[in-house]
Amino acid sequence: MSTAAGHVPVAVIGGGQAGLSVSWYLGEAGIDHVVLEAQTPVHAWADTRWDNFTLVTPNWHCKLPGYAYEGDDPDGFMTRDQVVEWLDGWLHTFTPPILTHTRVTRLRPMASGGFELSLKTAQGDESMTCDHAVVATGGYPVPVLPPWAGSLDTTVSQIHSEQYRNADQLPEGAVLVVGTGQSGAQIAEDLHLAGRQVHLAVGSAPRVARFYRGRDCMTWLSDMGLYDKAAPEYPGGKAAIEKTNHYVTGRDGGRDIDLRRFASEGMRLYGTLSDGKDVTLAFEPSLGEALDRADSVYNSICADIDAHIEREGITAPPASRYTPVWEPDAETTELDLAAHGVTSIVWAIGYRPDYRWIEASAFDGAGRPMQNRGVTGVEGLTFIGLPWMHTWGSGRFLGIDRDAKHIAATIIDDLQHQSALEPSALRASAHRRLAVAR
């Protein structure tokens, strides 16, 4: 048998922190399994973050199975390199059964139960079977570009946000950043601080204060239980869930990202980018509305924190509200890239799912997994690491441990009820340790 061929009770597909967290719990329970990683463990942290990247969540949020941040700055924000070092420390605390450079190209349910996996390895094409498959390849792995990006002038350099590293990587000249989610807003700030002329197409993402009334806003929100609320119970429902990509930064100890302030310092702001050809781009007249909406969310979160402070009788500095420091005089709906010296575009408009390699009826019309806490209607098929898989913390360091524990307990429970696997006293004891509230 080659390194990958054969049968294993559980195959975890993806060796990022989510997949390895499930592996940690399976290993504790003595469950035979394998982690299949297309590259190397947790490689994305070093390979797809820009040089000045920092976490936007406080360091104390960083918790993984058997491991938590224990540095001297729990309320600070680790840089990219510090996160890589922290994760490397975790990987030295256990030995996951991982096969690197092993890409799963097909997952197919078998009539007899379980799954057949097609693999591309250094040795060539191989296959293996498993009873349970845990998909841990990330929520949205495919970068999104507009369909007309290819019709723009070829002299304009185009990259996706996952390819951005620093300002010096781009050609001399002005830069257009498209999108103001967490990545787009922070990349625009990075370029602005580097002295580049930045043009920014502002989307619908909201924003949040970094610090408010003496503490980090995300620490307040955690105390208020918002990171623990299950998706169906989250205030505001699905519409609110889809607007939780608030832009803020942990850079230089953490601060607000205020696009209005950037504009007062020379950054050029536009509404949603809607079309483009050659060197001409068209924007919706939505800038003022987008800025007002983002500020409204900012202030509403502050109001929620105020209510929590009053309800709990907490002593804190006085309340305040954000007031705009800049207003657009008029909406600019067209940009001539050549006339304004724009030589490069950074697309920060997100990612999309791509589960075409999974031949199972587990997806909705948009290609997203239909799941409840990671468990699908396809027997033996689960997911981990999806945004809002269970709570706002899912997909983040704060919620991965809990989600992985639940998935592992679900698998262990199923395996112990299969006649082919006699539950030993060791496994039964491990299952009791891994019990989670259903």
pLDDT per residue over 80-123, tens digit each? Answer: 999 999 999 999 999 999 999 999 999 999 999 999 999 999 89
Question: Per residue of the chain (438 residues), what is the pLDDT tens digit?
Answer: 334 569 999 999 999 999 999 999 999 999 999 999 999 999 989 898 999 999 999 999 999 999 999 999 999 999 999 999 999 999 999 999 999 999 999 999 999 999 999 999 989 999 999 999 999 998 777 899 999 999 999 999 999 999 999 999 999 999 999 999 999 999 999 999 999 999 999 999 999 999 999 999 999 999 999 988 888 887 776 666 665 689 999 999 999 999 999 999 999 999 999 999 999 999 999 999 999 999 999 999 999 999 999 999 999 999 999 999 999 998 999 999 999 999 999 999 998 889 999 999 999 998 899 999 999 999 999 999 998 888 888 878 999 999 999 999 999 999 988 744 454 444 444 444 444 333
pLDDT of 242: 60
Per-residue pLDDT at 142: 87
Q: Which residues pair with 34 in a beta bridge?
A: 11
Cα 50 to Cα 190: distance, rounded to the nearest angstrom = 9
Q: What is the DSSP letter of 291?
A: H
Domains 6-141+353-434 and 144-351 share a fold: yes
CA distance 240 to 206: 11
CATH number, domain 6-141+353-434, options 3.60.21.10, 3.50.50.60, 3.40.50.300, 1.20.1250.40: 3.50.50.60
- Structural domain spans, the chain: 6-141+353-434, 144-351
**Secondary structure of residue 61 in the 3-state scheme:** helix
- Rounded Cα distance between 423 and 336, Å, is 68
- If one looks up domain 144-351 in CATH, what number appears? 3.50.50.60
DSSP code of 307?
H
Give pLDDT tens digits for 320-337: 999 999 999 989 999 999
Q: Residue 232: how many CB atoms within 10 A of its CB?
A: 9
Task: Give the torsion through C-alpha atoms of 303, 307, 309, 312, to 10 deg.
Answer: -170
Closest C-alpha to 326, from 291, 285, 284: 291
